[in-house]
Structures are given as structure tokens and as C-alpha cells.
């Protein structure tokens, strides 16, 4: 009876927050209410639908301006962005890249594309991202600094890169991670795929390390249908990434000459047009998502056995995907809660399966992952689309 009451209270609280709907409420649906159609139609009317066209440059410029970096390169998806970023950091055969076990599979896959080995790191509960103190202790045990780099004493392989990931848009505690990387001579590549509009100590995510990446998949806060970007404060590196991801073609009016192994990772103009229109609405999206998050927090505040996850005190999150954390004593109710939610047309999901539990990564090196394993059992994502706050905003305006 107590278990049933917990599930009923959580579902009831979520339903009280959400606007009425006669169809399933998705986890994160795109919202198109600005110039999307106008810009996409311009691409179709002019014929500039592929990788050439004004919207690609425009999209890159607005991304750089919004995030505060010196160079943004728009690419076909976030995984491609991670791949090229890791290549630029020198990741090669058997090189180890430290990534959180609690992440989307693309983070680990991109390492494998380079011939490297993912090395799985634990998280901390206050950020859901890499635990800097625990990583520092772990590196003290396994790392050896030599003249030519940092090595894993147990495997004999380079430790090339650390990839902090800002989970569901909540910034990881990145300053101590950056200090660790400098101390051990390890590069940092930020997986900021989910954190457009999130700030760490007043600075936008993606400004640490060699470069960082964004994703504009259909479920992201800003979407280009499918797309991604590399951000960097090294303009020379940015130009090199732009060149290599455009097949390393030497500019010429008619000849096709290439001087390096390149990648066809360019974002089409028609996708960039969608992104330009979405970026015009980003401030509104962020405002609506914070309103929705505050309503969830209030709705869950008096329900014993569950808590709403809030941004760390040093950060301002975009609240890309809102989430509930079940108490340890209630983890056996997770799947029953998910089933009840879907019965009520509310789409909810657990967190990703931890990377070291996937068959292709089960033999990769890893540290103690007890916090990530606890979070995996307890996290439930709940509907987070910015349009879910629209009804409330409209009512407020009418009342005023």
C-alpha cells in the first residue's frame, strides 16, 4: 500500500504540473514558433540546401557569440564533433580516454572510432558528472608522468584525454578537473552536448580544455534536426577542424584536390537555417524550462521517497532533461513508476545503461563506480519540453 501511494503521489504531482493533453506527453519535444519555416523555405526557394550557404556561417557565428568561444564549427552531429575533437587531441590506437560511466553511448563510441580505449570514471551525486576528488585519488594510484606523457601503470598505455560530460545540462565541477589535467599533462575535451545555455561560475560551458562539443539532435534544447558543433578558443585549431571536416579539400574553382584524410562531417545549410531560427528563441526556451523545473521542484517537495534534482550551487543549468532521484529505499519502485507513467500517457525513462555494462565495453579499464551504479538505479527523467510551460505563461499574462 505504501509503495502504491508513492507512485500515485509522484504521478499526481507530475500531472498537476503538466498542461492537459489528449496525447502522450513526450520527454523532450522540439518547439517551432519563430522563423524556422521562413529560413528553411529560403533555402528551398534559392536551392542552397547542402553544405554551402549563408546559414552555416551565420549559425557558427551566433553559437560562438552566445557561448563566448572564439570559434564554432557546425557539423553533422554531436558524435562526429566528439570524434574530430578527440582526433585533434591526438587519441590513437590503445590510448586511454577517461569518460564517465554515466553518459550517453556516443561519448565512449567516439573514443573507439579513434582506436582508443574508454576508461570509465565515477560520478558525484551533486552534479551527476565526473567526481574530481575521486578522480584525483585514482590518478594518484594508477598514473605515471613520463617525459612523453601520462601513462597508466597497470596497462602501459597513454592516458590522453579526460572527457567531462555535463549530464542533462547540469555543469560538472570543471575547475578542479582542469587543474588535474594540467597537473598530469592530459588534454580535456568537454562533452557539452546537452548543456547549451548552461553556465559554470558565470561562464558558459564549453570554454575549458582543448575544445568542446554540442549536439542539436531533435530532442535537444535547440535542434537542427540532426547536427552538432565543435567549440574552441584556439582559432587555428578551429580552422583546422573546419578544413578536415570538409573532406580536407584544397580550395580551387574546379579541381578536387585533398592533402589529408578528411571527414565529410559538414552540416547542411538547410539544417543550419533551422538552427539559426532556434537560436533566436533560445533565451525564451531557457526561461520556460526554468519555470517548468521550479514547478516540478515545488510539486515534489513534500513527497517522501523521491527528490527533484536541482542545479549545483556553482552553476546555472539549462535543465535540459528534468529528473527525479528515488531514495535508496525506493529503488525497487522505479520500473513500476515508469509503467504507471506510460499508462497515464506521460513519457518517462531511466538513465542510460552504464557504459561498462554494455557488451562492447565490459572489458575496458574502470575505477570504482559505486556512485554511478547508485544513480543508475535511482534516476528517472520526466517531461521537459519548454512548451510545457507555455500554458502557464499564457494564463499569467491574461490574469495580469
What length does the chain have? 400
| Class of the CATH domain delimited by 36-280 | alpha beta
Relative to beta strand 379-381, strand 349-350 is antiparallel
Q: Per-domain residue ranges for the chain? A: 2-29+282-399, 36-280
Measure the CA–CA gap between 1 and 19, rounded to whole angstroms.
28
Q: Identify the segments of the chain with pLDDT beneath 50.
A: 392-400
Query: What is the reported pTM?
Result: 0.94
pLDDT for 397 equals 30
pLDDT for 395 equals 30
Nearest-5° Cα angle at 286, 280 to 290: 160
Question: Starting at the edge strand that comes first in sequence, how are the strands of the sheet with 228-232 ordered?
Answer: 71-75, 228-232, 211-215, 187-191, 159-162, 96-100, 117-121
CB 381 within 8 A of CB 322: yes
Q: Which residues of 243-277 are buried (b: 16+ CB within 10 A; e: fewer)?
A: bbbbbeeeeeeeeeeeeeeebebbbbbbbbbbbbb
Decide if domain 2-29+282-399 falls under CATH 1.20.120.140.
no
Measure the CA–CA gap between 102 and 128, rounded to whole angstroms.
8
pLDDT for 81 equals 98
CB 180 within 8 A of CB 139: yes
pLDDT for 391 equals 56
Measure the CA–CA gap between 348 and 340, rounded to whole angstroms.
10
Amino acid at each position: 500500500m505504501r509503495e502504491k501511494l508513492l507512485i500515485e503521489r509522484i504521478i499526481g504531482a507530475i500531472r498537476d504540473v503538466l498542461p492537459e493533453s489528449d496525447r502522450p506527453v513526450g520527454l523532450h519535444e522540439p518547439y517551432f514558433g519563430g522563423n524556422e519555416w521562413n529560413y528553411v523555405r529560403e533555402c528551398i526557394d534559392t536551392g542552397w540546401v547542402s553544405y554551402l550557404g549563408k546559414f552555416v556561417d551565420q549559425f557558427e557565428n551566433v553559437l560562438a557569440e552566445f557561448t563566448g568561444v572564439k570559434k564554432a564549427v557546425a557539423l553533422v552531429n554531436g558524435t562526429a564533433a566528439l570524434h574530430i575533437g578527440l582526433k585533434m587531441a591526438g587519441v590513437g590506437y590503445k590510448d586511454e580516454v577517461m569518460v564517465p560511466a554515466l553518459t550517453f553511448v556516443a561519448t565512449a563510441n567516439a573514443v573507439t572510432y579513434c582506436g582508443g580505449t574508454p576508461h570509465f570514471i565515477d560520478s558525484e551525486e551533486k552534479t551527476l558528472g565526473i567526481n574530481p576528488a575521486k578522480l584525483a585519488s585514482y590518478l594518484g594510484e594508477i598514473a605515471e608522468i613520463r617525459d612523453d606523457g601520462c601513462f597508466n601503470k597497470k596497462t602501459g598505455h597513454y592516458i590522453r584525454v579526460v572527457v567531462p560530460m555535463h549530464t542533462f545540462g547540469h555543469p560538472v565541477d570543471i575547475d578542479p578537473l582542469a587543474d588535474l589535467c594540467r597537473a598530469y599533462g592530459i588534454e580535456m575535451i568537454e562533452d557539452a552536448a546537452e548543456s547549451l545555455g548552461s553556465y559554470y561560475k558565470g561562464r558558459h560551458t564549453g570554454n575549458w580544455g582543448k575544445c568542446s562539443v554540442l549536439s542539436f539532435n531533435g530532442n535537444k534544447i535547440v535542434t537542427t534536426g540532426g547536427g552538432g558543433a565543435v567549440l574552441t578558443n584556439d582559432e587555428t585549431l578551429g580552422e583546422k577542424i573546419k578544413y578536415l571536416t570538409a573532406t580536407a579539400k584544397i580550395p580551387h574553382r574546379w579541381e578536387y584536390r585533398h592533402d589529408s584524410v578528411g571527414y565529410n562531417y559538414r552540416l547542411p545549410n538547410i539544417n543550419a537555417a533551422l538552427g539559426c531560427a532556434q537560436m533566436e528563441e533560445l533565451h525564451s526556451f531557457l526561461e520556460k524550462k526554468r519555470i517548468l523545473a521550479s514547478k516540478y521542484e515545488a510539486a515534489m517537495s513534500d513527497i517522501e521517497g523521491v527528490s527533484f534534482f536541482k542545479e549545483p550551487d556553482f552553476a546555472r543549468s539549462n535543465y535540459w532533461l528534468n529528473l527525479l532521484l528515488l531514495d535508496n529505499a525506493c529503488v525497487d519502485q522505479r520500473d513500476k513508476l515508469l509503467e504507471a507513467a506510460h499508462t497515464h500517457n506521460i513519457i518517462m525513462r531511466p538513465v542510460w545503461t552504464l557504459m561498462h555494462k554494455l557488451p562492447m565495453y565490459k572489458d575496458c579499464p574502470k575505477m570504482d563506480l559505486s556512485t554511478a551504479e547508485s544513480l543508475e538505479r535511482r534516476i528517472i527523467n520526466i517531461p521537459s519540453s519548454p512548451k510545457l510551460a507555455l500554458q502557464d505563461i499564457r494564463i499569467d499574462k491574461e490574469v495580469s
